[in-house]
Amino acid sequence: MGLSKVGTQMSRMTGLRSLMEDVASAMATTTGTRWLNLSIGNPAAIPEVTTMWREAAGWAVADSFSDAVAYGASRGAPALVNAIADYFRRHLGWNIGPENIVVGPGSQMLCFAAAALFAGEDGSGARRIGLPAIPDYTGYQGICMVPGGIAGAESGWRVGADRSFHYELDLDATARRTDLGMLLVSSPCNPTGRSLRTDEQDALIAIAERMDIPLFLDHAYGRPFPQIGPTFAPPVLHPHVVNCFSLSKAGMPGERVGFAIGPERYITPMVSFLSNSVLHASGLAQAMAARALSSGALDEVVASAIKPFYAERRTLTEKLLLDAMPADVNWRLHANEGGMFGWLWVDEDWFSDVDLYADLKKRGVFIAPGRSFFSGPLESGTHSTQCFRITLTVDEKDLREGIGRIGEVIGAASPHRVGSRPPLSL
């Protein structure tokens, strides 16, 4: 029996997913190797954050266990939906009610629901998912159920006088398209950490408004939680904007709780999609989230633990890279604007992200090759094959050792050591 067209599309192995399978297989079958996994997307295990969620879990079990484990509303548990509405009224002044909110098993599931609802075939032809800030989250590549359903606009860049660089969006490329059903962008971005500026966010909203399509803004790393890094454009309430939020990077990735806030005309179909597919998110996890939001505990750990941790870890990572990376190789680190990753570009014709992955694997280190975060055809020796991502969330000892080995492997791979290079500063 063969798969349907949708089955074929959804069963394919995306680039980063195949890498994760390789990482899991190697770590499970190899003995005597101390693996340094700098490819992972888990948030750091910050003690204060762990304690906060443990206390919220204890409260949920003791206070509302029976209700939490029963079947619930597909929109989300009323206690959490009301806590979300109250939180955003108090903190951002948003006049929203339950009709503007949907809770799902992770924000990626909500993006998948949106892709199924707003992209694909309709009476006017194929409507694609517009990704205006490529490179962007690799998970977006797998949410479209039709081949060729992703329309990415690759960013340009500007380089600093130091070892930094910064992506610049090609908004005109997105504006010229006539086949889009929705726009989707993460800010801060996974993998680069780039944050939308207010003028860029406004421009994307104007494009969505002109095309009469929704703009989905994924705030998984941004405001109001977990606020990993300095973000520029705050979440905005607008008739063409759906804001997606997640508790994963705020310390609860495995429980899969995310929510979206937006106009009723977009939220109501998403509620129906969840009802027809997964029913609803985990009841216990929703009870924990409601407690953390309504008590102020989440805001407290964001300010006192999460933000300081990642600020310090980013500073450490920059120092480690400057010490470890070869001075005669033209490498750059994307400017720090948020997120929990380091995004590196080795601007050398001989460099390949997948070759680096293979060489580092032999040294017991895993990184994420950058090509999985781009869309469209790949060509060797171009920017989309010269980048890679490392996480900042592993133990400091592993981070130090891992970056040291990365520098050694890249230095050993360089076929020449001549030419003018940027100075050693960030």
Q: How far apart are CA 287 and CA 96, in angstroms?
A: 21
| Domains of the chain: residue spans and CATH | 5-46+300-413 (3.90.1150.10), 48-298 (3.40.640.10)
DSSP characters over 351-403: --HHHHHHHHHHTTEE-EEGGGG--S---TTSGGGSEEEEES-S-HHHHHHHH
134 with 154: CB under 8 angstroms? yes
pLDDT in tens for each of the 426 residues of the chain? 788 878 888 777 666 667 777 777 777 777 667 889 999 888 999 999 999 999 998 988 888 787 777 788 889 999 999 999 999 999 999 999 999 999 999 888 999 899 999 998 877 778 999 999 999 998 888 887 788 889 999 999 999 888 999 999 999 999 999 999 999 999 999 999 999 999 999 999 999 999 999 999 999 999 999 999 778 899 999 999 999 999 999 888 878 899 999 999 999 999 999 998 888 888 889 999 999 999 999 999 999 999 999 999 999 999 999 999 999 999 999 998 877 999 999 999 999 999 999 999 999 999 999 999 998 777 777 999 999 999 999 999 999 999 999 999 999 988 864 444 444 444
Give the Cα separation of 299 and 392 in Å (integer): 22
pLDDT digits (tens, 9 = 90+) for 351-396: 999 999 999 999 999 999 999 999 877 777 799 999 999 999 999 9
| Peptide linkage before 132 cis (omega within 30 of 0) | no
| pLDDT given at position 268 | 97
Three-state DSSP at 180 gives: strand
pLDDT tens digits, residue range 46-72?
A: 999 999 999 998 988 888 787 777 788
| Number of residues that make up the chain | 426
What residues are paired with 242 via a beta bridge? 216
Global pTM value = 0.91
Q: How confident is the model at residue 231, as a pLDDT?
A: 83
Element (H or E) spanning 102, and its range? Answer: strand 101-104
CA angle 319, 389, 397 (to 5 degrees): 50
DSSP state of 46: -
Note whether 161 and 192 are within 8 A (CB).
Answer: no
